[in-house]
Structure 1
């Protein structure tokens, strides 16, 4: 996926479920000259996701699908992505698991950011589990999405030191700061820039 500055940017969708802080940092990154992507679509499975406000603020198309019927939601989503000519997907705190079928259609074109040093602590409650196991470090990982949860090829990781009196909240905050820096770097790496 090599790309030089003369090309048009890769049309990208960001999938969110919550506050959208990674979405916000990706939007800012997408507006820089060195960014290979443009954010053209935001999807959420949660109509109350605060991140949807960023889509509104930056005038980006958005859609909410509740995923109660996964097959139906994914079918609907695939057609919306096609209409919007989306070529790449960034998962940013998206709390639904995409089907093998969906992933196959975007093979090698879906990135996810996860708040642990994978392969450790796949899935949920990563900070709690890291603290319970008395880890000295945690961090975040950007990886390609495959059919197995949090198991795709790792693109980049950033280590974060866990301090003595760390709480879940303080660790989450510390890691989030690094996530905002890591995601754009990982995207550049994917495009060999």
Structure 2
């Protein structure tokens, strides 16, 4: 059984997707937020998951907040830390503390469009495809070995909102899948890349399809 801690800042719809996936071999030990009024806390508590708040506004520095957050996480001894709409830039020391066992989802096909306003920037750039990426977290923002990606077409009449909606559907598909692969020890880090190993019963190889 792999234990995970999920960090959120708001509604936590990707956290909801992971919880609702009921992934075999995964125990969600806690959902922690940096915002006391994050909507996802109520969802998690309603499903019997331990919730906790480490309010970033109560700390004088980012480093002090990160230290307190790490202490809250470590009380649950997680195998994996999952960032699900956690809207804080983490210090290098915090990231290194969980190196190789902390993942994030970003609403673009990394390395394109790191940072904010990804959907607007994709439309403005005229790209034909946009999407979402699950990756291991490194000290460089929106960087790190890629576990899985999903792409959607950018339609001629897309707005920022319509494109975001379609990407979010894919986020809710691929994030539970990434957690499942990691729980099954099917993700291996090699030379700065994440290699996904096929299940013995499947015909998949590297970067298997979602159903593998």
TM-score between both structures, scaled by the size of structure 2: 0.81
How far the C-alpha of 1:72 sits from its partner, in A, is: 1.9
- Residue equivalent to 2:33: 44
> Which residues of structure 2 form unaligned runs of 5+?
187-198, 200-212
SS at match of 1:93: coil
In 2, are the aligned partners of 1:155 and 1:189 still within 8 Å (CA)?
Answer: no
- Residue equivalent to 1:148: 140
In 1, are the aligned partners of 2:35 and 2:56 still within 8 Å (CA)?
Answer: no
- Residue equivalent to 1:59: 48
- Residue equivalent to 2:67: 75
**Number of equivalent positions:** 182
**1:1-193 alignment, distance < 5 Å:** 9-29=1-21, 31-32=22-23, 35-68=24-57, 69-190=61-182, 191-192=185-186
SS at match of 1:117: coil
The alignment yields a C-alpha RMSD, in angstroms, of 1.4
Q: Which has the higher contact order (CA 8 A, sep 6+)?
A: 1
Superposed CA offset, 1:126-154 (max 9, x none): 00100111111100000000000011011
TM-score between both structures, scaled by the size of structure 1: 0.89
Aligned equivalents of 1:57, 1:10: Cα separation in 2: 22
Aligned equivalents of 2:52, 2:180: Cα separation in 1: 27
How far the C-alpha of 1:177 sits from its partner, in A, is: 0.5
